[in-house]
Chain A
Amino acid sequence: MFTFLVQRLFQALIVMFVISLVAFAIQDNLGDPLREMVGQSVSEAERQVLRDELGLNDSYVVKYTRFITSAVQGDLGNSYFFKRPAVDVILDKLQATMELVLGATLIIIAVSIPLGVYSAIHPKSLWTKIIMAFSSIGISIPVFLTAIILMYIFAIELQWLPSYGRGETISVLGWETGYLTKDGLLHLVLPCISLASIMLPLFIRLVRSEMLEALSSEYVKFATAKGLAMNKIYYQHALKNTMLPVLTVGGVQIGTMVAYTILTETVFQWPGTGFLFLEAINRVDTPLITAYVIFVGLIFVVTNTIVDLLYGVVNPTVNITGKGA
């Protein structure tokens, strides 16, 4: 176990190092910090002096070292726009994004597993054909379109659901949540569905194909020969084996979903990190952009490590302890 953790930590460090290089390259090349700081009346000579003082004329390596030293201490610079540390700004908005991703993940789990399993058990039924057709269409519709259509139908025409914002939130142990108020929940519905719609078709297909494979396996045949009820075979023997690869892919996709929130949050004016990022780009708020890139990288690395650990717990044949069986 210890060796495994050390290994994973080491891998995570390498990944984070590469991400920091990319992030720094963005910061170093995007825009001119001086232009943000001083007015037009400052002469070129004065600018040069300022550049020297700020260390902007140092070599790439020196600048990167300075950047990474403060970064590991949690300092990614101050946002130009908010005039506050970029990390703080992101942490403020992260809760909203996490709630959105959580909602979408729940929807994906609740929908893709039953549909995938159903279509694997009844490969020839009409419903299977409908599900598969829906998932093909789902893959090809971009998320902003889904979001706009949903908004038009449910928020504008039917007026059942609100179209933007988080609504009323209450604070639980310092976490602003929308899950505990009716208004907050109503505001979550449309953004979560749109975000889920990206991954849903993929997961339905993944669950279906993994389930089909499990059903054609020898142990399912043996379980049938043992005289077990079909339900037990489907929902215990086959489903558990189906979930292993789904878990692995799911872990990676959660990271991707955080990245996709940029579109969803923008359409729904959701006050999360994705929306923040887009605004940061518009304002050329370089430190905030850098901080966001590093944050998303971190989320990827953390979720993947957790998934790998979970995989070892669920699958007895994977031995992460490093000891012999």
Chain B
Amino acid sequence: MALLEVKNLRIEYPSRFGVHAAVKSLSFSINRGEIVGVVGESGAGKSTVGNAIIDLLSPPGVIAAGEVFLDGEKISGLTLEQMRKVRGNKIGFIFQDPMTSLNPLFTVEQQLLETIHANLNVTQDEALKRAINLMQQVGIPEPEVRIKQYPHQFSGGMRQRVVIAIALSGEPDLIIADEPTTALDVSIQDQILTLIRNLCIEKNVGCMLVTHDMGVVSNVTDKIAVMYRGDLVEFGETAKVLGDPDHEYTRSLISAVPRSDRKLDRFPLVSYIEEAHELQALDIKNHWLGQSEEQRDYDGPLLNVENVSLRFITKDSFFESKREYVQANKNVSFSINEGETFGLVGESGSGKSTIARVITGLFPPNEGKITFEGIDLTAIKSERERRPFRRQMQMVFQNPYTSMNPRMKIYDIIAEPIRFHKLAANESQIQQIVFDLLDHVGLGRMAGVKYPHEFSGGQRQRISIARALATRPRLLICDEPTSALDVSVQAQILNLLKDLQDELNLTMLFISHDLPVIRQVCDRIGVMQQGKLLEVNESEQLFTHPQHPYSQHLISLMPEFKGLRSSI
């Protein structure tokens, strides 16, 4: 008999605009010792399923139809008190963000013990022994000391271990993990997944792993359920679903995942999800976008970063000797040639975004030189002199939801840099340019009259790109441009960036923590760790023969996803 059995589950969100069905008639099952991955993109309803099973739907969500059985007992439609006994004791839950799922005001000990006491009938001493034992099992060193600490004294990975320890402390039969590694770095992601995997086998419990990351599911799951807009489109053995999918959507989703094993020219088959307008081809030679004011007679690399160091004060003091610093960048040197895409990869805190900010002049470096076409940017003192260089370097930021003024229309957002840098002769020319840009990034000119909130994340990132292009930049700095997006949208954005680069001969600095993405996009790659640039190598060279031990380590941890067995 299956451990968890979900039958014809339907979840509805009633609103004044009618009823929205987040999940439509879903059926699947999980056995003991088995990990089932539930994959899909945002809005597919995959998290909703996990929440519905333990009756934690955020209002006004309701289970409209269907049943959930755990070990043959029906657990849907229980009273609050009955459900409380299922939570923790029968089903353990792991949330996405370990930074927010622990209460900051209670020690780890308090949070572990209360869970044990709520679910098991044990003495205080026994509970403490169990708690320390659990912390050991999830790989937290010195559990006797660490258990007395508060969550903020743990790193992200360690916190997620604490969360897992808490989820296991009620000795559940089933673990529901909702994006358990999305907020973590690759090396920690690997450890956490291995941990979950081993615990499932050791304790013979079932696990439902909700994730959007195809690399993760292909590595740890036994079965996969693919969801698309509330429907279960495919459910089966992992190898079968990933290698030879039946459904069109599964194919499209898989093809959008950046491959870690080889570089493709473009992402195929990604139009299933969010159809963009047909890109308008432009006659670049005669168009405004292709015309530049600059004389291009400089022959060296476009951008040269020489021995740049930057430190931030972490503890200020009146006395200089007592100040404490964190070294964000240490002696970083690299150069980017015209028309090239240079990638910077590293885990969080490695200083890769800081470098981008140093280059654009947002942070002045403590030491080192940055030259753009041979001109030393660090020597420029006045804002007026810097302005032409600001125009030639533009940034696309990570979060498309916060990098645009919500009170401005798209038209004005894109026109603003043109007006500021006085790049167009008159308003009608600006209008023409903005419309062309909107057409060009696949949004259509009608998008200009709307506000940012009317667009999806992927569309907003297209707007960000249009805005960046509006100054006719030579260098485009993309700081994690796709990490807030779904894979299929990511694939489209990456395709767009590639097309634009080919057309406009753009030079790009592409920053990402995602190794497969970096591999698909970049010509040369720099690997960063703790502020230092460890290795700069040709893209293919780096992935096949990494030189530095850290690069080797990073690449070995990359969740392997080989894509469809039969090529499309």
Contacts and interface: CB of A to CB of B under 8 A. Distances in A.
A11 interface: no
A56 B152 CA distance: 60
A226 to B, nearest CB: 5
Interface in B71-89: 80, 84-89
Interface centre among A221, A227, A236, A244, by most chain B C-beta atoms within 10 angstroms, is A227
A316 interface: yes
B305 interface: no
Given A221-B95, A237-B106, A226 B101 contact: no
A39 interface: no
B214 to A, nearest CB: 25
B87 A218 contact: no
Most buried by B among A223, A237, A240: A223
Given A225-B54, A226-B118, A229-B84, A218 B97 contact: yes
Contacts of A230: 80, 84
A125 interface: no
| Interface of chain B, main secondary structure | mixed
Nearest to B104: A317
Interface in B82-109: 84-89, 91-93, 95, 97, 100-106
A227 B89 CA distance: 7
Interface in B297-315: 315
Contact of B93 (A225, A317, A325): A225
A227 B85 contact: yes
Contacts of B97: 218
A290 to B, nearest CB: 34
A228 B170 CA distance: 11
B166 A237 contact: no
A233 to B, nearest CB: 10
Contacts of A244: 105
Interface string A214-236: 00011101111111111010001
Contacts of A228: 84, 88, 114-115, 118
Contact of A241 (B86, B93, B104, B153): B104
A96 B43 CA distance: 62
Contacts of B91: 225
A316 B150 CA distance: 7
Contact of A223 (B54, B89, B103): B103
Contact of A315 (B80, B105, B114, B118): B105
Nearest to B176: A225
Given A219-B100, A219-B101, A322-B315, A226 B150 contact: no
B394 interface: no
Given A217-B100, A241-B105, A227 B115 contact: yes
Contact of B88 (A225, A236, A315): A225
Contacts of A314: 105
A219 B167 CA distance: 13
A218 B100 contact: yes
Given A225-B93, A226-B87, A316-B150, A240 B119 contact: no
Contacts of B167: 225-226
A219 B119 contact: no
A224 B101 contact: no
Interface string B146-180: 00001011000000000100110010000000000
Nearest to A222: B101
B201 interface: no
Contact of B170 (A226, A315, A316): A226
Greatest chain A CB density within 10 A among B97, B100, B101, B324 is at B101
Interface in B370-387: none
B169 to A, nearest CB: 8
A217 B101 CA distance: 8
Interface residues of B, number: 34
Interface string A284-325: 000000000000000000000000000000111100001011
A317 B95 contact: no
Contacts of A317: 104, 150, 152
A322 B324 CA distance: 11
A316 B105 contact: yes
B102 A221 contact: no
B100 A227 contact: no
B105 A232 contact: no
Given A240-B105, A316-B152, A227 B84 contact: yes
In this complex, the member of A226, A240, A322 whose beta carbon has the largest number of chain B beta carbons within 10 angstroms is A226
B56 interface: yes
Nearest to B119: A227
B329 to A, nearest CB: 21
A222 B95 contact: yes
Contact of A325 (B89, B101, B104, B153): B153
Contacts of B170: 226-227
Contacts of B84: 227-230
A218 B99 CA distance: 9
A226 B118 CA distance: 8
B149 to A, nearest CB: 9
Nearest to A237: B103
Given A217-B100, A219-B102, A325-B153, A226 B95 contact: no
A244 B104 CA distance: 12
A50 B102 CA distance: 72
B152 to A, nearest CB: 5
B432 to A, nearest CB: 47
A221 B163 CA distance: 13
A315 B315 CA distance: 20
A221 B56 contact: yes
A316 B153 CA distance: 10
A225 B104 CA distance: 17
Nearest to B169: A226
A223 B105 CA distance: 13
B428 to A, nearest CB: 49
Contacts of B150: 316-317
A228 B114 CA distance: 8
Contacts of B85: 227
A225 B80 contact: no
A300 B153 CA distance: 34
Contacts of B54: 225
Contacts of A322: 315
Interface string A3-44: 000000000000000000000000000000000000000000
A223 B104 CA distance: 12
A156 B100 CA distance: 56
Given A219-B101, A221-B95, 5 more contacts: A218-B100, A227-B89, A230-B84, A241-B105, A317-B150
6 A-B pairs closest in CB distance: A227-B88, A225-B93, A218-B100, A227-B87, A222-B101, A316-B150
23 contacts: A217-B100, A218-B101, A219-B101, A219-B103, A219-B104, A221-B56, A222-B93, A222-B101, A222-B166, A224-B56, A225-B87, A225-B91, A225-B95, A226-B93, A226-B119, A227-B115, A229-B84, A229-B118, A232-B118, A241-B103, A244-B105, A316-B104, A322-B315
Interface of A: 217-219, 221-230, 232, 236-237, 240-241, 244, 314-317, 322, 324-325
